Amino acid sequence: MAKQIGELIIPENIDEALECNILELYALIENPELLKAMKPVFEKIQANFNSEAIDYCISNFLDAELDFQTHGDRGIGRTTSFIPRLGAYIRKYMKKFTTEDMILLRASIQGVILTRYLRMGYIIYTLSLSDELFARKVDSNELYKAWIPTIYYSVDTIIDEITNKYVTQITNVPEEIQEAFENLWLHFVLSTLENIINKYNIKINGILSKNKLPTIFDYYSMAGRNLRVLEIMEANDRERVKMYALSGGIIT
């Protein structure tokens, strides 16, 4: 059973986390006709959710991202420490975190990733109307190895090229749905920034530095988007994206 810490529901597993995200998204939609049209899409996403692979990817990423004991600032998927891993960036504060705080932080980041994962799943379906894309299953380790290099290197060019072949119609996501996704994203971000950052009076601004927390969370959003896109790709396309990121933008 899920429990609640502050304003955030803490799911027991990835399936429950996805369901909580979807239900919270529904609660943000006031237009009944829009809600009725949305539900079949998210029911398809949920019914075909590759929980084993998605849990493997997110769990391993978060284990590395929240590591505050290993020396150095660079995190998994980075070639530099310009965008440090979160555990290193707030290392001295995380040493004081309670178990509940660690659970809250982890659940918040997972929520951010899943929100963007769901948003991209919705967009892809509305552009393709393809049930086949929902049914594709990919090996956990294969997806993870393709996903990690894309988080901190822009792969927009090759992703757009590949996903365009799935597009069968041009349509816009209704503004109310876009706002609902944005508000859900903010819910997870603020649950961390307000409840934890304020609690520990975390100060990370210096004379020559700026607060990188918003940027770090922006990359978690990118991670969620890319995870869904890579999941629905054919294996050869997924490999192309991975190699594009690893080679520094060389399209093969």
Residue 249 has phi, psi (to 5 degrees) of: 100, 25
pLDDT, tens digit (0-9, with 9 covering 90-100), for 204-225: 765 456 788 889 999 999 999 9
Q: What is the mean pLDDT of the chain?
A: 89
Amino acid at 130: S
Per-residue pLDDT, 205: 61
Tell me what the mean pLDDT of segment 225-245 comes to: 93
pLDDT at residue 128 greater than cutoff 60:
yes
Per-residue pLDDT, 223: 97
pLDDT at residue 250 greater than cutoff 60:
yes
Question: How many other CB atoms are there within 10 angstroms of residue 114's CB atom?
Answer: 24
Tell me what the mean pLDDT of segment 103-118 comes to: 94
No. of H helices and E strands in the chain? 12, 2
Tell me what the mean pLDDT of segment 92-96 comes to: 92
Amino acid at 87: G
pLDDT, tens digit (0-9, with 9 covering 90-100), for 34-43: 999 999 999 9
pLDDT at residue 19 greater than cutoff 90:
yes
DSSP one-letter string for 90-143: THHHHTT--HHHHHHHHHHHHHHHHHHHHHHHHHHHHHH--HHHHH----HHHH
pLDDT at residue 157 greater than cutoff 60:
yes
pLDDT, tens digit (0-9, with 9 covering 90-100), for 131-151: 777 777 899 999 999 999 999
Tell me what the mean pLDDT of segment 87-92 comes to: 93
Per-residue pLDDT, 207: 47
The reported pTM is: 0.93
Residue 4 has phi, psi (to 5 degrees) of: -120, 135
Q: How confident is the model at residue 185 (pLDDT cuts 50, 70, 90)?
A: very high
Q: Which residue has the higher pLDDT, 81 or 136?
A: 81
Per-residue pLDDT, 191: 75
Q: Which residue has the higher pLDDT, 199 or 46?
A: 46
Q: Which residue has the higher pLDDT, 2 or 172?
A: 172
Per-residue pLDDT, 158: 92
Q: What is the CA radius of gyration of the chain?
A: 18
What is the 8-class DSSP label of residue 195? I
Per-residue pLDDT, 50: 94
